[in-house]
Copies of this chain bind each other. A is one copy, B any other.
Amino acid sequence: MDKEKKPSLSAPPLEKGLVMIFTGDGKGKTSAALGVALRALGHKMRVHVVYFMKGDYPYGERESLARFPNCDISIFGRDCFVDPRNVEPEDKEEARKGLEKARDVIQSGDYDVVILDEINVAVSWKLLDVNDVLDLIKNKPEKVALILTGRYAERRLIEAADLVTEMTQIKHPYDKGVLSQRGIDY
């Protein structure tokens, strides 16, 4: 790519849309996906974020992403957190709807970057079948970049990805009683 030129107002598509995974137990997975979205949006690319498990409603990013006419978001999952030891039928149904939406969005030709937020967790907790997610990856148009986030990324997803970063928690202020903060974590 020519980095010297300023971006034009119309975005040429990516030559090759990579499959990227941000996983691990540290803070920064969804944040990193959002950061990539911010870059892509600045280059006039079209971005779609599919939230798979948003008990923790993404207020902050939703307000910000709404400023971009070239960004859309879809939100699935119940308002509460999923209990992995006690998955409700509604959790599975929501995840299935999210997967269908993701398939439509990826195949539509309307987006350059598609973020599948927390899909790794949805697979790990058996809300989704890993084979269905592998099919999403295998059948995606060449030029569409995919970003999968969430802990517990399955081995087969990692094998299918082009780029994988594990976010490892070195230090977290849990012990100072700070669980999550407005504007930082949601």
Residue A134 is within 8 A (CB to CB) of chain B in the complex = no
- Oligomeric state, in copies: 2
Cα–Cα, bound, A28→B54 (Å): 21
Q: Out of B16, B67, B183, which one reaches A14, CB within 8 Å? A: B183
- Contact of A26 with B by CB under 8 A: yes
A→B interface (CB under 8 Å): 1, 3, 6-7, 11, 14, 16, 18, 20, 22, 24, 26-43, 45, 56-65, 67-68, 112-113, 145, 158, 161-173, 176, 178, 180-186
CB pairs A–B below 8 angstroms (22 shown): A18-B178, A26-B165, A28-B28, A28-B29, A28-B167, A31-B35, A31-B39, A32-B32, A35-B61, A36-B184, A38-B64, A39-B58, A39-B183, A40-B60, A40-B183, A40-B184, A64-B68, A163-B172, A166-B170, A167-B167, A167-B168, A168-B168
